[in-house]
Amino acid sequence: MPTNFDIKIDRRHTGSVKWEFVLDSEDPSKKNRTDACFGSNRVLPMWVADMDFPSPEPVIKALQKRAQHGIFGYTQPDQAYLEAVTGWMKKRHGWHVEESWIVTTQGVVPALHLLVRTLTQPGDKILIQRPVYYPFFSAIEKNGCRIVSNSLVMTDGQYRMDYDDLETKAADPDVKLAILCSPHNPVGRVWTREETQRFGHICLRNHVRVISDEIHGDLVYPGVTFSPFAVADSAFQENTVVCTAPSKTFNLAGLQTSNIFIPDTKIRQKFKESLLANGLFGLNPFGVTACRVAYEEGEPWLEDLLHYLKANLDALINFFDSEIPEIRVIHPEGTYLVWLDCRSLGLDKHQLRNLFLNQARAFLDEGSLFGPEGDGYERINIACPRSLLMEALERIVAVIKG
């Protein structure tokens, strides 16, 4: 029986970041607790990237069984865990990941911070492709490095990589590292094999290591194929660290479990030493169980989810086309995050925040958080029951049409 994603579950009073906090408009590292999502005039949170759907039933049952065991001591992944991770990557993405490459961490963002610290020196430059996932900025700057943006360009209604600019910037000897967002958050591109090959060869020629954030890699729409960066060319493997997790795919972010694939032995050992130096070891026992079972038994649920997300996306596109053509939808190829071009409204970022949050009572992520290239844009999360999504859209159109 297909999963019913239309059921609404009240997430209030659970400590949910999505439902009980709002992001500071000037400092995305700050989240302020709010009761705005309560009451008859509540704000609908459509911002942070987690889903308003329960995780797969096999995962929930496995967690219940683990809880009944009653002992929650220090935990490390076992052989079944490693086989589940490698099996998933092989089956879903055609990538043979060696078990020895896997380094588990308590999340992709903490891993990014530590990888920057491990692979660079203060003062080094790190290349990113804005507009991009804003925690990349803090991972770079908080570790004393400098941001270099090979900004994406819009061509024929879709974002592309600017390879001429990439060639120039990668040639700078101070650029030691590039962080690729694949699939790309927030613009929704799923880079083709040819695109990643071109990107990877430019980095390889210029001795620029690559971290590929592939946390959204399972979430692609029909007709689109995601190719892990390290699969694009075997030459990339020794120059690449790939960050993955079951969190976006199966709505497990709170269990803080991620899998970092590091084929190069020296880099892997250096990263492990960095983890120990920072007192980071072991995983949440529930995270270990959830990850293993999700990869072993969660595929039918994921297929249902992808169909539901596609229907939500179609509903959103049709709604904006017919009701609010002033807002242009940048059609995503993957992720459950949709990039909205609001520039024709003629509003600055403060006015846009006021329109969506205070007037429409729908909290979206402001485009400017993703870099100056995001000014005039908003990011909306469509991973929620369709009735909730449509309620948010109706609120927005009511304010814009006045």
Residues 110 and 206 in one domain: yes
- Out of 235, 268, 297, a domain closes at 297
Residue 9 within any structural domain of the chain: no
Residues 238 and 309 in one domain: no
Residue 8 within any structural domain of the chain: no
Q: In this structure, what CATH number is given to the domain that contains residue 235? A: 3.40.640.10
DSSP helix/strand/coil, 297: helix
pLDDT digits (tens, 9 = 90+) for 246-272: 999 999 999 999 999 999 999 999 999
For a pLDDT cut of 90, what percent of the chain falls above it?
92
DSSP helix/strand/coil, 219: coil
Is 322 a residue whose pLDDT tops 70? yes
In Å, what is the CA distance from 338 to each residue of 106, 257, 327, 334, 341? 27, 25, 12, 9, 10
Residues 147 and 174 in one domain: yes
Residues 178 and 142 in one domain: yes
pLDDT given for residue 38 in this prediction: 65
What is the average pLDDT across 312-319? 99
Poorest-pLDDT segment among 9-18, 44-53, 77-86: 9-18
Residues 288 and 356 in one domain: no
Residue 344 within any structural domain of the chain: yes
Poorest-pLDDT segment among 37-41, 94-98, 396-400: 37-41
pLDDT given for residue 12 in this prediction: 86
Residues 22 and 88 in one domain: no
Residues 256 and 318 in one domain: no
pLDDT given for residue 353 in this prediction: 94
Into how many domains does the chain fold? 2
pLDDT given for residue 39 in this prediction: 66
pLDDT digits (tens, 9 = 90+) for 343-389: 999 999 999 999 999 999 999 999 999 999 999 999 999 999 999 99
Residues 239 and 317 in one domain: no
pLDDT given for residue 51 in this prediction: 99
Residues 320 and 223 in one domain: no
What is the average pLDDT across 275-292? 96
Residue 65 within any structural domain of the chain: no
What gap in Å lies between CA 177 and CA 161, rounded to an integer? 17
Contact 274, 116 (CB under 8 A): no
pLDDT class for 40, splitting at 50, 70, 90? low
Residue 380 within any structural domain of the chain: yes
Residues 117 and 180 in one domain: yes
Q: Which of 283, 275, 241, 238 is nearest to 261 (CA)?
A: 241
pLDDT given for residue 239 in this prediction: 97
Residues 208 and 271 in one domain: yes
Give 260's strand partners: 103, 243
Residues 346 and 218 in one domain: no
pLDDT digits (tens, 9 = 90+) for 168-204: 999 999 999 999 999 999 999 999 999 999 999 999 9
Quick one: tokens of 374? 């995001």
What is the average pLDDT across 387-401? 97
- Out of 297, 327, 355, a domain closes at 297
Across the chain, mean pLDDT equals: 96
Rg (CA), the chain: 21
- Out of 297, 320, 341, a domain closes at 297
What is the average pLDDT across 301-324? 98
Contact 92, 246 (CB under 8 A): no
DSSP helix/strand/coil, 92: helix
Residues 6+ apart with CB under 8 A from 326: 342, 344, 345, 400
Residue 62 within any structural domain of the chain: no
Q: In this structure, what CATH number is given to the domain that contains residue 336? A: 3.90.1150.10
What is the domain range of residue 355?
17-56+299-401
pLDDT given for residue 15 in this prediction: 92
Residue 256 within any structural domain of the chain: yes
Residue 4 within any structural domain of the chain: no
pLDDT digits (tens, 9 = 90+) for 113-152: 999 999 999 999 999 999 999 999 999 999 999 999 999 9
